[in-house]
Structure formats: structure tokens, C-alpha cells
Amino acid sequence: MPRFAFTIAATDAAARTGALAMRRGTIRTPAFMPVGTAATVKAMRAREVAASGADILLGNTYHLMLRPTAERIARLGGLHRFMGWDRPILTDSGGYQVMSLGSLTKVSEEGVTFASHRDGSRHAVTPERSIEIQRLLGSDIVMAFDELVALPADRDTVAAAMRRSMRWAARSRTAFDGGGEHAGRSAVFGIQQGGLDEALRGESAAALTEVGFDGYAIGGLAVGEGQAAMLGVLDFACDQLPADRPRYLMGVGKPDDIVGAVLRGVDMFDCVLPTRSGRTGQAFTRDGPINLRNAKYVEDEGPLDPGCPCPVCATASRAYISHLVRSDEILAAMLMTEHNVWFYQTLMADLRTAIAEGQVQAFAAAFLARYGGAG
């Protein structure tokens, strides 16, 4: 099995379907990565995540470096062994959480210092340290360290952060290449920045391409700009990145966001939405999200989503799950999360099939027309 090989099996306009072959398994694209923040996809066991159709999941560098620490996970055999997951894992760089969760954050050319959101302890993360943490975790796909700018922001602020991120990307690549055996079996992705500005995005893509990465992420979106603006960026951002490498839209998103992004050429996604929604009583359906706390579901004997292939829809009614949600039972979070993760994986499988059959535009139009919010 190669260290990393990306093949495109079929295209339909800008949409693509293919596969990333890695030593721990093949990732079918377009792919959605469930988020395993603290070495767990919340409310699910690893075998249940695999059964949903997930080929890869995301581990969170920031949270794992704080607890239980990357060094402890390494002593215990690495993240895969620690959490009982034998398929690929992508780890984020920690940059997003450092900026959004850490307090008293200071950014310099060297890196970022911050106070932990857990106990106020001080930490420093540089591109080199971020790569070291991901190596200790045993990540299959490593992300370059970057600087997040919440939108809206003025152009000078966005440009300065993007250019620093590009300098950090080069340092991240050097640190990754010095990783010995880990570098020989893993991959490293660079992260495009530049806000909503086409010229800045182009400058970022050129800098990343010059360094050279196994794949390229589109970062700095889903941070307050809204869906229309995000899709507007994807109209040009995808074409700025190498066509023969996977494109990963970080932190996205809602099902309709994903469909719109796939139509524009994105291959990989991650988001906490299916798991977080599952813990708060929201289920995703082809007719839109539904809130099981609503009174109209207390005697509804139908499944969460008629036609859904998941084990929850095969065995539990809306009425039963509504009862569990209203009673704050732990089982509610488990069943809702399992359904939502299956819903996302089924959507990705349907998109892959539609692209392969040259029907993605028709599939997307039908999906988006039906998906509107059922309450």
C-alpha cells in the first residue's frame, strides 16, 4: 500500500469522485470525516462509526495536547490504538482552537502562546510543535499550522495572517519531512487562507504549491461569512489549487453546504454538527433537520428519516426517541448521533454514485429542493 495516492475515478462538471489510498485504508471521496475531538466521536463507539461508512475520522490536536497529552498517547501506542480505530486519522493543526478557545492569545512570527481554556495553564504552539504533536499522535494526514482570522475582517488583517500562515506552512513542511518513519508513512496538507479575497487566495495557493503538499485544505471559511459568501469563495478557490491533489474544506458543514461544495470540486469535509446536533435533540433528514423536543413527535411512530438505512431508523420510532430526549436519557444522544453520522455518510455515498453516473446536478437539485427544514 502506498504512503499516499489520490486518484480521480470520475468527474461531473467540477465535481469529482475518487479515492485516497493510504496504508491504513482507502478513503472514498467525496468524504466526510466525523470529528473525534477527545479521542472519541462523542456518544459513539469506534466500530459504530466504521459501520456508518466512515473511512477516516478527525482527531483534535489542541484538545489532545492538553488532555491526556500527546506524549501520553504516544507512550500508550498512538491514537489509533488508544481509541480502537484502525482506519486513517487526520489531525487538525490546533490553530483554530488556539484562536477560538485559548485566552490571552499572543501571535508572533515564532508561533502562538495561549492560556488553556481548561485550567489557564500557559502553552506555546509553533509550526514545529504542532507537527511534533501530530507525529506523537500517529496521524495519517497531518495539517500545517496556520493562523485563523474570524470574518468579517479588513483586508490588511487577512493578508498579514495569510502571509504568516504561508511562512508557517513552509516550516510545517520542513518539520514534517524531518519526522523519520512517521513522514515515510503519512501525508501532510497545506491550508489555503485569504478570507473572501480572490487575489489573496490566489497568492496563498501559489505559495503552498511552491512548497508542495500531498493535499490542500481551504481554510478560514465557516467562520461567520454565511453560506452564500462561502460558496462564492469556492467558485474560485478550488481552481486555484492543484487539480491532481485532494481538496479539503475545513469545518464544513451543514448538508446543503456540503452538496454545494461538492458541486464546486471539494473532496473532503469535517464538522461537529452531526454529533453536536445529536446531543441536543436535532436529527437530520432528507426533509431537513427536525427537533425531537417538539410536541408533534411525541406520538409519531415513524422512523427519524423514512428510507434511512441506519440501525436506529430500523428499530426506534420518533416517539420513543422524543421520550428519551425529553427525559434527558443518555441513550437519546447515542441514538441521535448514530443516525446523524449515518445520514452524513449516506449523503456522501449518494454524491459519489451521482458523480460516477454523471447525474450530480440532478441529484443536488432534488436534494436541495427537498431539504428545507421540517421543524
Are residue 203 and residue 349 in the same domain, yes or no? no
Residues shown for the chain: 375
Q: Which amino acid is at 161?
A: A
- Beta-carbon count within 10 A of 76 CB: 11
- pLDDT score at 223: 86
Cα-Cα-Cα-Cα torsion 114, 134, 252, 306, nearest 10 degrees, comes to: -130
Q: If we measure between CA atoms, which residue out of 71, 186, 203 comes closest to residue 139?
A: 186
Please say if 267 is a catalytic residue.
no
pLDDT tens string 247-263: 999 999 999 999 999 99
Whether 39 and 111 map to the same domain: the answer is yes
Residues 188 and 220 reside in one and the same domain: yes
> Are 188 and 333 within one domain?
no
Per-residue pLDDT tens over the stretch 338-372:
999 999 999 999 999 999 999 999 999 999 999 98
Q: What's the confidence (pLDDT) of residue 95?
A: 79
For residue 358, give the DSSP letter. Answer: T
- Given a contact cutoff of 8 angstroms between Cβ atoms, the answer to whether 173 and 188 are in contact is yes
pLDDT single digits (tens) 162-194 = 999 999 999 999 999 999 999 999 999 999 999
How many Å apart are CA 333 and CA 344, to the nearest integer? 16
Strand partners, 192: 218
- 145 assigned to some structural domain: yes
- For residue 11, being part of any structural domain is answered with no
195 and 48 inside one domain: yes
What are the grid coordinates assigned to 300, written together? 409519531
For the question of whether the overall pTM of this predicted structure is more than 0.95, the answer is: yes
The residue annotated as part of the active site, out of 55, 257, 270, 305, is 270
Strands 112-115 and 89-91: unpaired
The verdict on 320 and 200 lying in the same domain is no
Long-range contacts of 201-207 (CB under 8 A, 24+ apart): 201/233, 201/236, 201/237, 201/240, 202/236, 202/240, 203/162, 203/163, 204/162, 204/165, 204/166, 205/237, 205/240, 205/241, 206/240, 207/166, 207/169
Please give the Cα distance from 347 to 358 (Å, whole number).
Answer: 16
**For position 262, what pLDDT does the model report?**
98
Regarding predicted confidence, which is higher, 110 or 114? 110
pLDDT of residue 103: 67
Q: Which of 55, 92, 257, 305 is the catalytic position? A: 92
Q: Which pLDDT score is estimated for 3?
A: 87
pLDDT tens for residues 115-154? 888 888 888 999 999 999 999 999 999 999 999 888 889 9
| CA angle at 107 for the pair 105 and 151, rounded to the nearest 5° | 80
Q: What is the pLDDT of residue 375?
A: 46
**All 3 cell numbers of residue 219?**
481554510
Cell 469545518 -> residue: 251
Boundary-marking domain end, from 252, 271, 290: 271
pLDDT over 90 (residue 90): yes
Q: What is residue 100's predicted lDDT score, i.e. its pLDDT? A: 74
Among 192, 199, 196, which residue's Cα sits nearest to residue 213? 192
Measured from the Cβ of residue 51, the count of other Cβ atoms closer than 10 Å reads 16
- Same domain, yes or no, for 200 and 114? yes
Residue 15 falls inside a structural domain = no
Mean pLDDT in residue range 85-111: 86
Distance, CA of 291 to CA of 297 (rounded, Å): 9
- Shared domain check, 52 and 114: yes
Q: Hunting for cell 490553530 — which residue is that?
A: 95
Pair (220, 293) in one structural domain:
no
Q: What is the pLDDT of residue 120?
A: 87
- Same-domain check for residues 290 and 248: no
In angstroms, the CA 254 to CA 368 distance is 12
CATH of the domain at 143: 3.20.20.105
pLDDT at residue 278, rounded to an integer: 97
**Domain span at residue 295?**
281-370
Walk across the sheet containing 103-107 and list its strands. 103-107, 112-115, 122-125
> Which tens digits make up the pLDDT trace of 31-45?
999 999 999 999 999
Which of 246, 271, 296 is the C-terminal boundary of a domain? Answer: 271
Q: 3-class SS at 28?
A: strand
| CA nearest neighbour of 345 among 293, 310, 298 | 310
Ranges 69-78, 146-155, 214-223: which has the least confidence: 146-155
Q: Is residue 40 part of a domain?
A: yes
Of 212, 238, 271, the one marking the end of a domain is 271
Residue 92 annotated to the active site: yes
Residues 215 and 66 in one domain: yes
pLDDT higher than 80, residue 1: no
Query: For residues 105 and 99, what is the distance between their CA atoms, to the nearest angstrom?
Result: 7
d(CA 327, CA 307): 27
Whether the predicted pLDDT of 210 surpasses 70: yes
Does 228 reside within a domain?
yes
pLDDT value at residue 322: 98
User: In the chain, how many domains are there?
Assistant: 2
**1 in a structural domain:** no
User: Does residue 27 fall inside a structural domain?
Assistant: yes
3-state secondary structure 30-48: CEEEEEECCCCCCCCCHHH
Cis bond upstream, residue 68 (ω within 30): yes
Instruction: Output the pLDDT for position 102.
Output: 62
What's 108's DSSP letter? -
Same structural domain, 117 and 250: yes
Rounded to a whole number of angstroms, the CA Rg of the chain reads 20
Q: Which of 220, 207, 197 is nearest to 170 (CA)?
A: 207
Residue 86 lies in a domain: yes
- Could you tell me the pLDDT band of residue 299, with boundaries at 50, 70 and 90? very high
